[in-house]
Amino acid sequence: MAQLGFIGLGIMGRPMIGHLLAAGNKVNVYDVNTEAVKEVVAKGAVAKASSKDVASVSDVIIVMVPDTPDVEEVLFGKDGVAKGVKSGSIVVDMSSISPIATKEFAGKLEAMGVEMLDAPVSGGQVGAEKAILSIMVGGKPEIFERIKPYFALMGKNIVLIGDHGAGQTCKVANQIAVAVNIIGTAEALAFASKAGADPAKVREALMGGLASSRIMELHGERMIKRTFQPGFRIRLHQKDLNLALQSARSLHMSIPATALAQEMFNAVAARDGLDLDHSAMVLAIEELANHPVA
């Protein structure tokens, strides 16, 4: 059985490691958050002192950190993966980062005899905890097939999109669709509430028609119940939308609904809401309506 490494023990990483351990895998872990490390060690993981140390004893190294600079530091920093990785190993980046940077990272690792997959996920904390994440993969088909059994322990909808960077491109597209869906759900519930209808009953009715969606199901309920503790933080969704807007400019195309969603997130961020769940976009809509959903 392969030795697995996992770097990044956030609200997504910890439950993902739990599923790998529950299947009988040995998982070497590292994170600067020592409390998170203790939590997964208690479940059977093996703590290492650095990303370099994880790589030196692992055949497959999974990375799950917030942003492009974080991935670069984990891979190529002073005590990064590149300093300890063995030729023939596989790096699987499950973070959500720049597709362009992903291609560069894959090229640098390949020159060292190391394969890479980009495999960002969708489904949030709930998806990670229930092992029902959607996993969007970029890389070589033969490497994908070798890692797919591990993906299957963490997710359900696992798709090889294309070559290096294609998984990240798909994730950016996902974040566009999610953001626009959140703003539509927030506007619909705010409108219904201000017009005098019970938003909970409206949501119930909409769930049976064409307006039904996972956003309406999960985040519509959050908006009504005011449960904005993060499953996916606004600051992280803003990071992804920045990637979308930057990429759209490079492609000479307009994505106006995405730009509007980013401005709504900016409005919530201005109220110290960066670390709220992204469903809290409804707070900006409520302010414009001068009326709460709940």
Q: What average pLDDT score do residues 9-25 get?
A: 97
Distances (CA, A) of 223 to 22, 76, 292: 34, 41, 10
Beta strand 121-122 with 115-118: parallel, antiparallel or unpaired? Answer: unpaired
Q: What average pLDDT score do residues 74-84 get?
A: 98
Q: How confident is the model at residue 92 (pLDDT cuts 50, 70, 90)?
A: very high
Domain spans, the chain = 3-162, 169-289
Q: What is the pLDDT of residue 294?
A: 84
CA gap 181, 12 in Å, rounded: 22
Q: Which two tokens stand for residue 30?
A: 């590292």
Taking the CB of residue 243, how many other CB atoms lie within 10 A of it?
Answer: 24
Residues forming a β-bridge with 128: none
Look at residue 14 and tell me whether its pLDDT is greater than 70: yes
pLDDT digits (tens, 9 = 90+) for 174-219: 999 999 999 999 999 999 999 999 999 999 999 999 999 999 999 9
Alpha-helical regions (H) of 195-255: 199-206, 214, 220-225, 234-250
Q: For tokens 């942003």, what's the residue? A: 67
Q: What is the pLDDT of residue 187?
A: 98
Q: What is the pLDDT of residue 1?
A: 67
pLDDT digits (tens, 9 = 90+) for 114-149: 999 999 999 989 999 999 999 999 999 999 999 999
Look at residue 62 and tell me whether its pLDDT is greater than 80: yes
Q: What average pLDDT score do residues 28-32 get?
A: 98
Q: What is the pLDDT of residue 231?
A: 86
Q: What is the pLDDT of residue 137?
A: 98
Tell me the catalytic residues.
Answer: 171
Q: Which two tokens stand for residue 214?
A: 């996972």
Look at residue 80 and tell me whether its pLDDT is greater than 70: yes
CA gap 129, 135 in Å, rounded: 14
CATH number for region 3-162 = 3.40.50.720
CATH number for region 169-289 = 1.10.1040.10
Q: Which two tokens stand for residue 43?
A: 């479940």
Task: Quote the crossing angle between the two packed helices 166-194 and 234-250, to the nearest 10°.
Answer: 120
Q: Which two tokens stand for residue 16?
A: 């993902």
| Whole-number percent of the chain with pLDDT over 70 | 100
Q: What is the mean pLDDT of the chain?
A: 97
Q: Which two tokens stand for residue 87?
A: 């030729």
Q: What is the pLDDT of residue 284?
A: 98
CA gap 217, 223 in Å, rounded: 10
Q: Which two tokens stand for residue 145?
A: 């097939």
Q: What average pLDDT score do residues 3-12 get?
A: 97
Q: What is the pLDDT of residue 2?
A: 82
